[in-house]
Structure formats: C-alpha cells, structure tokens
Chain A
Amino acid sequence: MAILKVEGLSKFYKDVKALDNVSFEFDHGILSFLGPSGCGKTTLLRSIAGLEVPDTGSISIADKIQTSIERGILVPPYSRAIGFVFQSYALWPHMTVFSNVAFGLKLRKKSEEEIKRKVMSTLDLVGLQGREQRYPSQLSGGQQQRVALARSLALEPRLILLDEPLSNLDAKLREEMRVELKKLIKKVGISALYVTHDQDEAFTISDAVVVMDGGKILQYGTPDEIYNRPLHPFVAAFVGHAALVDGKVVRIEGDNCLVNVPDFNGADLISLAPKTVAAGDTCKVVIRTTEVKLSHDGFPKGTDNVLEGLMTSREYRGGLTDHRVQIGSKELVVTSHKLCPMIRVNGDGGKTFVSIDRSSISVIVTH
C-alpha cells in the first residue's frame, strides 16, 4: 500500500506554473521535496494537505482519494487525518502549550482523561514535559518547533507534512534538530513528507528525495542516487560541491565512456557511462569537486583523468579549503578537507596537477 500517490498534479498562479504535471508514489519512510524557492515544493505539500486546490490531477493518501479535480473530489484539510508542521510553527499565541497540543483532540471529542494522557505522553516524546502551562512566546525557537511537532503527532496521523520546519532556527540548532527529528519520526513509525531547500538537510533526514525545479520533478531517488548519479544538470548543480562543464561523448568502452571537454583544453575525460549514451552525444560533465586530488609533482601513470592547471588562489574555510585551479578556460574550485601544506599557490606560473577519479564524474546526456 502506498501511503501517498500523486498523479498529474498541475497548478497555475496566473501565468506562473507552480506545479507542472507532477506524478509520483511513495510507500513509507521520510520523503523530502528539495529545490530552490519557487520550485513548487511548498505548493505540492500544501496541495497534499488540502490547503491548495490544484488545477488538475489527483492525490491519494493510504489508497483513499483526497483530491481529484477530474472526479470533483476535494476532502477538506480537517478530514485528511494528516499532521502539518508549518514553517512559522503557527502555534496559537493565545493558548498554552497544553491547549495547542490538545486542540485537535478536543475537536475529536475525546474524553478529558484521554486528552490529558495523550498530550502529556506526546510532550514527553518531544522532550517538553513540564512546559505544558507555558505560552508559545515563553519558549525558545527549538522548543516552539517541538510543540508544533507534538501538536501534529498527538492526533496520530498516518502522514506528517513538514514545511521547512527548521528554517527559523540558527545553524547549530538546525543540525541538532535534523537528527533528532529523524529519530523521532522513526520512533513514532509514521511516514513524513519534508520540504526543504537545504540539500544537507534533505540528505540527512530522508529515505528518498524528490528534486524539483520549475514545478517539475527532476529526479526522485535515494540520497545516494541523487548525489552520485544525478540525471539532470540542475540536480547536479543544486545538490552542490560539483562543477559542470560541457562535453561531447567520443566513444564508449565497455562500462566507461570517453568525453571530450573543450573547456579543459580539449582534454578527453574517462567516466562511468550512463545507461543510455552514444558516441556523438552532447552532455554535461559533473565533477564532484570534493573528490578531486591535487599534486604539484604529477600522478602515477594510469591515474584517471590527470589535468594540468594553474592554482590562482586558495581560500581557507576552517575545516575545508577551496583551491582555485585554472584549467584551460575553466576555473575548477577543488575543496579539500584540510589545508595541505605541500600545495602552494603558484601565482608565478607554476603548475598544479589535478586528478579526477572516473567514479567522481557523472555524465548527463543533453543531446
């Protein structure tokens, strides 16, 4: 049973296409919608919640149709049995933590005792025991976030929707909460949809990721697939730590393919071949720059893709160091995990060699 099934969903805002014929299925676990702002991810989430009415398409949750424009079905948000954690948390400022969490339970006409038990156990779960009589304004951002989560979890939904829930927290807390949120969702054992524009967050938290842009799904896969085998230049660029250059496939050699890159002084790069590729295809070459190796003295014979360049500058970033290497007409920013003392900045015309392992390159055919 798929917890969620979306078919042919489209939505226009005047002339802007927020959702463009979106279809996918999702079994269980945590699914992230990743993309830049305006890519349609929030519209998609809100359509699933019933807060937006799409122009076409249908949505089923646990095999029950919730939205179907074609069949005229639109289950209101209050009957969808879902949880929703808003970006602003949307805690009602005039209610205590207890009342906020109890709100949905009271509407469901649960007994006083049951409400009390459920609210307390949920607050316990999110680590907020003893704060139930506080007002939202008396809590820190992280605590407010937990209240919002508790409010949704208390109703025991089949599916919980989270709209950039960590974006209002500061960087350090955000990283802590990511892991905690994941543990909590796994512990409760429900499925979750998670909207974010932060690829680290999406990768950390989810079992699967949907990368979106311009209202379309560009790729749907596990974090590993998205990172190591991007199917679309935008996905490669958005997911980060990658350089993209134009290339042309020269020939196929078994599992590998040879790609000519004019920007790198016309060098031929070897890489693992994508599923469908033919000689003569134009393509984007995606180089994961954290995996590129640097050397002044060259690399042993047989090392993949050794290129010669000139290091123009180097930026120390604490844990990471960016090395700017000019290769042909392209500047490659190579990120290494520590400052290598033997790598010097050769502004004087001295050479630097880079080596790119074939597994660090993805080829995306663009035709």
Chain B
Amino acid sequence: MPLIASALAGAAIMTPVLVVMWRSFTSGKLGFTVGLNLTNYLRVFGDKDILPMLSNSVVYAAGSALLGTVLGAFLAWIVARTNTPGKALVELLPLYPILMPPIMKNIAWILLLAPRSGILNGMLQHFFGIETLVFNAFTMAGMVWVFGLACVPLGYLFLLPVFLSFDPSLEESAYIAGSKPVNTMFKITFPLAIPAFTSALVLNFLRGLRSFETPVLQGTPGNIKVFVSRVYDSMALEFNTGLATAYSVVLVVLSVITLYFYIRATRFSERYATITGKGYRVKVIDIGPWKYLTFLAVFLYFLAGIVLPFIVLIVVSMIPYFDYDTFMQFPSNAVLTNYYTVMKHPSFVTGLYNSLILSVTIAIVTVLAGIVMAFTIYRTRAAGAKVFEFIGTLPLAFPPLVLSVGLLIIFIGTPLYNSLWALGIGLFVAYFPYAFRNASGSIVNIHKELDEAAWVHGARWRHVFFKITLPILKPSVGGALFYIFIEAIRNVDVAVLLTAPGKEYGPVTLFEYFRVGQWAEAAAGGVIYLIILIVAVSVAKFAFKMKFSL
C-alpha cells in the first residue's frame, strides 16, 4: 500500500519532467509534433539575446542572493550576539516580511519606484524639485533590490542558529591567546559561519534563478530578459511549446548545477562539528552606542520589508485610481470602490475561492503523500527506495514555471485541460519536495526502535504508520501543512499557465490586473489576501500553538 501511493506520487512528478525534456527536442505547435530535432535548441542558442539573457539571469540571481544573504546574516548577528535594545521585538521583526506574498511586494515596490508615476520620484520632485528620475523599478538594480529583500529571511534563518549555538569556548580560547573582540569576530566567529552563509547564498541564488514575479513584472517592462521571463513569453505569448521547453531545459541545467553546489555546501557545513545543537549560553557583546544603530538597522529593514509596502498597498487600494497626485491626497479622497470592484469581479471572487480551497487541499494531500513516501523509503523494506528519494527531490531542480509548462503540454487534449485538477496537480508537484524533505528529516529523527517495538508487539505497517509514526510526526506535520498552505495560496508561477476562464487562481488574477494597469484593484485584492494570511497565521499561532520555523 505505501509503495503504491509513493509510486503514484512519483509518476505525477516524473511525467511533466520527462515531457519537458522530450518536448524540447520536437518542433511544431501545441498538440502537433514534428519529429525529433534540435530546432528549438538552435533557436535558443542562435538567439542574439542568449548571452545577455544568461548574464542577466546570473547577475539578477547573484545580486539579490548577495544582498539578501548579507543583510540576513547581519540581522542574525545583531539579534544573536549584540546587546541591541528590544531583543524580543528585534528577534521577530526580520521574520514578518515572509508573510507578504511576493507578488504584492513587487506591486508595492513598483508603485514606489516606478520612473514616471512612482511615489518616491514624485516626492523627490515635489519636495526637493529634483527633476531627474532617481528611482526606476524597471532596472536591474530595482529587480535586485526587490528580490534581495525577499532573500533576507532565508539568510537570517540559516545564520541565526549558527550564531546562537556557537560554542563560546572557541571565542574564549582566542581571547586567551590575546585576540581582541573585534579581531576574534573577524578571525573566528565569521569564518565559522561561512558554511551556513554559503548554503543560504546558494539557495537564494537558486530561488533567484527560478523567481517569476520580479522578472516578468519589473524585468520585462525594462527590457531586461532572463530565462524565466523568456519561458513565460514563449509559452504565454507565442504559444511555442518547443521553444518554451528548450529555454526551460537551459534553465533546468543552470538550476541543477546550482543545486549541486547547494548540496555540497550543506554537506560541508554539516562537517563543521564545532557548531552543534548543544544549548550553549552565547556571550552577548556590548557594542556600546552602536547598539542604537543596529536597532535602527533592524527597524529600517522591517520598514522596507513589510511596513512601507503594506502602507502603499493600503493607500493605493483606497484611492480612486493610482497616480502620484491622487496618492498624495489620501486620506481625503479615501474610497472603497476598488474593494467593491474586485469583490464583484467574478475572476477575482472565483480565484479567491479556488485559491483557498486548493491551497488547503493541496497542503493536506502533499504533506500526507510526503510522509507516505518518506515512510516507504526509510521504514519499509520496499524496493526502489533510492529511486523514490531521487524522484521526491527532483522537482526542486525544476523552476515551478517549467513544471507547469510540462503539465500544460500533457493536459492539452485531455479532460484535465482547463480544469481545477490541472491547477491542483501543478501545485502538488511543485510543493511535494518540501513536504517530502520535511517528512524525511523528521522520520529519520524518530528512533527506529520505536517502530520496531511496535512490530514485535504485534503491529502491522498500518498500525505503525497511524499509531506511531503519524502521531509522533504531529508537530512537524503541522508546520509543513501551514508552510505549504501559505506558499500555495499566494502562488503565481505554477498557476499562471494553468488557469483558465472560470478556473482562475487569486494571485494570478492580481498579476493580470497589474499587467493591464488596474493597479488600484490589484492593491485592493492584495490587501484582502494579506488579511486572510494574517488571520490564518494568528489562528495557527494561537489556536494550535504552532511554532514557526522554515
């Protein structure tokens, strides 16, 4: 039984992957195949934009990864090792920005940084008479800024435990040897954090390569093309599946190379035996008056990460239409018409409904499937465990957009095409690795003798699974359920190709609003989503006493 369930999940994952590969070697439009050939690759590599596109992709991903990881590491160090005032608050501030869906961050920052209509340029002109357009969201710098901010929490979460669980005797022996605190910091503390930093950096780079919203919403208007936006254009605008899949394969190759380095970086950091889970009392360093500056740094990040975008979205959602002058008249011109409009708009209402239903369903299905597969691999003698391990992790190498390209190609001509099932399967495939890896990690940590004790005392596999494994996994199951729910309900990059009239997905609807210039409606819809997320988080936090870690 667990084997069959795992095989089903495996098949759902492998099919789009194989289809993308196969399709990239064929030419012809949707539904028609004209032999195996290299036409698509010839076009991809013959594209005069291929080199700029490659460099754009790398610069964008590396730039945001570097910005976000450095900032996140800095925040982690401030929180863990300095006497910055307001510790309890400071510890949580860097995590709140995770709540805001990426698409809304993009929308908010475009409203702030757009060259002509943007709020910041308008203010510079209005208050200081600066006519030059200082800020431009549609540049590489604008893209790196917005996605870099989104990379901060990961850097923070990777580095915080390192700085917190640091064996103080390592630093103390440096002091004894005559090293001053600052020198010790640079010679001992930071070098020992390098492996975790590298892991976070590479993972953020991978996220940059795969990210969808920023390249499409900011890059495309500024004519800065990266692979993801090129895949989207060839699929959504040119309907050329062969070309889309060929670009996808290039992107996948880049991802796989990155993933390889990520795995190596993680392995290396695990070998740093000095950093353990032991509960050391970490010494907090008195940084004197600098502590106010570090507090300010954390607070500024909090402002940029969530407060500023949130205020902008709320204001824009409550003005009749967006331009600088109307924006500045707020609140005298406050209206709720945008909310009425979106709530009457069938594409938004259906999208909202679908996203709620699907994200809850997908969270449950994915987490259960992940546990079953991990259980099959680590707790039964089923054959092919290694294969499942590989398949379960595989979608990580595939940008979500590429997975949905593969699924779309499969679904055309079947009853699944333009159905909610298509969306559901897409989300399942995209989020399965997270559920699977979370479950594997937890199952491996459950002492095997707990299972064996059940076996020898009369339990069959179903008893072991339902009475032992599942109850013990409860805390991590809760976390994974919630994480996937949060990610799925705001997903754009998987859903964008799989929606259809009548089968909308909320975040995609917002994405479309924004692309056709209905910025105020997009903001109103975004605020509704944010409220739902805040309610969900609060319910989870207080009703289920759930702890959050990613």
Contact = CB atoms under 8 A, between A and B. Distances in A.
Given A92-B472, A94-B472, A103 B449 contact: no
Contacts of B447: 88, 90
A108 interface: yes
Max chain A Cβ within 10 angstroms of own Cβ: one of B447, B456, B474:
B456
B449 A108 contact: no
Interface stretch (A78-86, A191-199, A353-361): A78-86
A152 B457 contact: yes
Interface in A98-133: 103-104, 107-108
Nearest to B474: A94
Interface string B448-472: 0110111111111001000110011
B458 A90 contact: no
Interface residues of A, number: 29
Interface in A47-61: 49-51
A82 B453 CA distance: 11
23 contacts: A51-B456, A76-B455, A78-B458, A82-B456, A84-B457, A87-B449, A88-B447, A90-B447, A90-B449, A90-B450, A90-B453, A92-B450, A92-B453, A92-B454, A92-B472, A94-B472, A103-B457, A107-B458, A107-B459, A108-B458, A148-B453, A155-B458, A161-B456
- The main secondary structure of chain B at its interface with chain A is helix
Contacts of A78: 455-460
Interface of A: 49-51, 76-80, 82-84, 86-94, 103-104, 107-108, 148, 151-152, 155, 161
A104 B468 contact: no
Given A93-B472, A94-B471, A107 B457 contact: yes
A89 B455 CA distance: 14
Contact of A84 (B452, B463, B471, B472): B452
A141 to B, nearest CB: 15
Contacts of A76: 455
A107 B460 CA distance: 9
A51 B472 contact: no
Given A92-B468, A94-B471, A86 B452 contact: yes
A4 B449 CA distance: 23
Contacts of B468: 92
Given A86-B449, A93-B472, A94-B472, A51 B463 contact: no
B239 to A, nearest CB: 53
Contacts of A91: 453
Contacts of B453: 84, 86, 90-92, 148, 151
- Report which residue of A77, A83, A161 has the largest number of chain B beta carbons within 10 angstroms of its beta carbon: A77
Contact of B449 (A88, A151, A152, A155): A88
Given A92-B472, A93-B472, A104 B457 contact: yes
A281 to B, nearest CB: 47
B364 to A, nearest CB: 21
A13 to B, nearest CB: 15
Nearest to A77: B455
B522 to A, nearest CB: 46
A155 B447 CA distance: 23
B455 A155 contact: no
Q: Which of B453, B457, B458 has the most C-beta atoms of chain A within 10 angstroms of its own C-beta?
A: B457
A94 B471 CA distance: 7
A161 B455 CA distance: 14
A155 B457 CA distance: 8
A90 B450 CA distance: 5
Contacts of A107: 457-459, 463
B452 A90 contact: yes
A76 B463 CA distance: 14
Contacts of B449: 86-90
Contacts of B459: 78, 103-104, 107
A109 to B, nearest CB: 10
Given A49-B452, A89-B449, 4 more contacts: A84-B457, A86-B449, A92-B472, A152-B457
A24 B180 CA distance: 67
Contacts of B463: 107
Nearest to A103: B457
B472 A151 contact: no
The 4 closest A-B pairs by CB, nearest first: A104-B457, A90-B449, A90-B453, A84-B456
A217 B416 CA distance: 64
A76 B449 CA distance: 16
Interface in B410-461: 447, 449-450, 452-460
Contacts of A80: 456
Given A78-B459, A92-B468, A107-B463, A51 B454 contact: no
Contacts of A84: 452-453, 456-457
Contact of A83 (B450, B456, B474): B456
Contacts of A82: 456
Contacts of B457: 78, 83-84, 103-104, 107, 151-152, 155
A51 B448 CA distance: 11
Contacts of A103: 454, 457-459, 467
Given A92-B468, A94-B472, A104 B452 contact: no
Contact of A77 (B450, B452, B471, B474): B452
Nearest to A108: B458
B186 to A, nearest CB: 42
Nearest to A79: B458
A207 to B, nearest CB: 23
Nearest to B467: A103
A179 B224 CA distance: 79
Contacts of A49: 452, 456
Nearest to B455: A77
B289 to A, nearest CB: 46
A145 B474 CA distance: 25
A329 to B, nearest CB: 43
B477 to A, nearest CB: 12
Contacts of A89: 449
Contacts of A94: 471-472, 474
Nearest to B470: A94
Given A92-B468, A94-B472, A51 B458 contact: no
A145 to B, nearest CB: 13
Contacts of B474: 94
Contacts of A152: 457
A94 B474 CA distance: 10
A92 to B, nearest CB: 6
Contact of B452 (A51, A79, A83, A108): A51
Given A87-B449, A92-B450, A77 B472 contact: no
